[in-house]
């Protein structure tokens, strides 16, 4: 493995000329006027971009290593209203990291709120920007150890208008969902791909 990468440019190579708030609601939208160094040399013209400003986010794929089951949640997603099948998506438990919380604390809270399960352990899969062209939201993606419940339940925080149904899924069925293209949530796809590659060593870690 010979390829390695570091960014060519850094924060000092971008000039923020102006920031203005153009919308304030469930999320905020800021308008930026920026100028930056270019790979071909020199500086760009003044570029205008809108940024959806969002707090950091945590997602947790819940895995019972003894039973080889995962727990996922189903709920309506406004961004999927145009989805060809349904705007109800199958996802890991997930939510915003509140002020003063660590990502792991938020992972434990969201696990209880959205699945009714207790997070017994967790390992960070990765942290990434799901849509950096339009938003500053950063996702912390975990695989979490749980004891899987025997049956599906209804969950969610009513004050936050959450209406959530849990699903207990055999691991091989989850891999089939992935391979057949039935999952349309990025965190679910990434996490299940990771679990498929790391299942054996994760079971060695968590079953001993």
Catalytic residue among 110, 113, 160, 162: 160
Using CA atoms, how far residue 23 sits from 49, 64, 112, 138, in Å, is 14, 42, 33, 20
Contact in structure between 116 and 109 (CB atoms under 8 Å): no
Q: Would you call 160 a catalytic residue per the annotation?
A: yes
Dihedral angle, C-alpha 36, 140, 137, 191, nearest 10 °: 100
Continuous segment of H or E residues that includes residue 139: strand 139-145
Structure tokens, 41: 């040399």
Cα distance between residue 44 and residue 190, in whole Å: 34
DSSP labels, 12-28: GGEEEEEEEEEEESSSE
Closest CA to 140 of 148, 131, 128, 156: 128
Catalogue the active-site residues.
Answer: 160
């Amino acid at each position: 493995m010979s390829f390695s990468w570091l960014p060519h440019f850094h924060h000092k190579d971008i000039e923020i000329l102006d920031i203005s708030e153009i919308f304030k609601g469930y999320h905020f939208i800021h308008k930026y006027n920026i100028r930056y160094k270019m790979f071909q040399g020199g500086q760009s013209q003044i570029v205008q971009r809108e940024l959806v400003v969002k707090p950091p986010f945590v997602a947790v794929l819940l895995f019972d290593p003894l039973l080889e089951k995962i727990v996922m949640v189903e709920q309506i997603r406004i961004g999927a209203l145009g989805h060809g099948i349904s705007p109800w998506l199958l996802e890991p438990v997930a939510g915003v990291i509140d002020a003063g919380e660590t990502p792991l604390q938020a992972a434990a809270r969201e696990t209880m709120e959205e699945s009714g399960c207790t997070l017994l352990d967790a390992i960070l899969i990765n942290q990434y920007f799901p849509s950096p062209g339009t938003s500053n939201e950063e996702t912390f993606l975990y695989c979490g150890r749980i004891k899987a419940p025997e049956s599906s339940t209804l969950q969610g925080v009513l004050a936050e208008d959450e209406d959530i149904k849990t699903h207990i899924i055999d691991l091989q069925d989850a891999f089939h969902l992935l391979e057949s293209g039935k999952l349309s949530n990025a965190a679910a796809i990434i996490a299940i791909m990771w679990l498929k590659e790391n299942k054996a060593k994760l079971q060695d870690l968590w079953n001993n």
